[in-house]
Amino acid sequence: MDITPQFGFFVIDNLEIHLGLGYSFQKDPDESDPDVSTNTNVFVINPGINYYLPIVEGRFFYAPGLDLGIGFGSQNYKTETTSEKLYGVTQFYVSLALLSFEYRPVQNFGISFRAGDLTYSLESQKRTIGEQTLKTTYNKFNFGLNLGASLGFRYYF
């Protein structure tokens, strides 16, 4: 589950800069015991830009964009009675939205659809055991046509 509200400003006609602040929660249950799970919590800061190309003047737009993201959080092992921190998590990503559209049924309201992002991400996990610190880094490059598809609602002042 991810939620990232964004606040944007048009700096010139059709060019929007925005900032999103979000939270991501992922629960991975243990298949052998339903009361045990590994939970990942991440807070995200997400600046970006979108450029709106009108397809139907004032109503329908192609809106490609570029986003950066920085996230901080933790991964915890949770049982019915205890919770133990496994790792500290740090994330960074760059995402190019190629399939992004917006429909404005009325003047100040928009419905956006986005899919097919081209994304590079870097995730680092750090764990301290006694005096030893273990660090694992993951690099991912992803082009997901339907993975991560999102629907958004926008209000324009």
Question: Regarding beta strands 53-56 and 150-155, do their DSSP bridges make them parallel or antiparallel, or are they unpaired?
Answer: unpaired
pLDDT of residue 147: 65
Q: What pLDDT sits at residue 86? A: 84
The pLDDT value given to residue 115: 87
Look up the pTM and report it.
0.79
| Residue 69: count of CB within 10 angstroms of its CB | 20
> What is the rounded distance in angstroms from the CA atom of residue 71 to the CA atom of residue 89?
8
Hunting for tokens 């790792």 — which residue is that? 87
Beta bridge partners of 105: none
Q: Block means of pLDDT (10 residues each) for the chain, length 157 residues?
A: 89 96 90 86 96 96 96 90 87 92 94 90 83 83 70 88
